Amino acid sequence: MKSAADLRIPFSWAERYAVLLEKCLYIPGFYPHHEKWSALPWNDPAIFGKAGDKVVIEYCSGNGQWICEKARQNPSIHWVAVEKRFDRARKIWGRMQREALSNLFVVCGDGTIFTRHYAPTDSVDEIFVNFPDPWPKRRHAVNRIVQKQFMKDLTRIVRKGGRATLVTDDEVYRDQMAFEVAQSAAWKRESMTTEWPDYGDSWFANLWTQKGKTIYYQRYAHV
């Protein structure tokens, strides 16, 4: 049985390139040649290998607790975990191997770059952005994933009638999320709540709940 340690980058930083590594797409940082790739076909044997009822993407997957549990509970759905940090993505991959989650695929890379260059058009049924880094300093806010361009890219990849759920514990980021989505006529807000009992657990959800923070859930439909 493979462990997280078995997922290794097969080249040096100077030689870096985007590569599929045993059901993990690795997109290195500061890599300028995304045009060398065409959009990923979900039915590629290196990804899922077959058609599924749905394709669901989670951005900011952390150590994978939330998405691995969802994949286990919903074996007919294809789940895609997108995590920028390699150490965390490797943990997700290791858990995927241990639990034999054939309906899970891992992307190690920047979520905005993956969405813009690698995700197929009209191929995703639902996306979740779970506890993205709020980048609280004003000068760093440009690094937040939920921005105008990201929502434009989601409009391309999410099918009409699909859903987007954005989750944060940060009030400022909550408001920015709502503002950015509202700029697009392609998305209609269905709900904004602080209660979602069966949403699922994650390391960050448990951490912020224990610290007494409020969790904000925003749900949108692609119209």
Active-site residue numbers?
A: 133
Look up residue 82 and give its two tokens: 């997108």
- What is the rounded distance in angstroms from the CA atom of residue 42 to the CA atom of residue 52? 9
Residue 22 tokens read as 């045993």
Q: Which residue in 62, 39, 175 sits closest to 114, CA to CA?
A: 39
Is 139 exposed, middle or buried (CB count within 10 Å of its CB: 0-12, 13-18, 19+)?
Answer: exposed
E strand segments, 109-182: 124-130, 158-168
Distance CA 155, CA 158 (A): 6
Q: How far apart are CA 22 and CA 100, in angstroms?
A: 13
| Type of residue at 14 | A
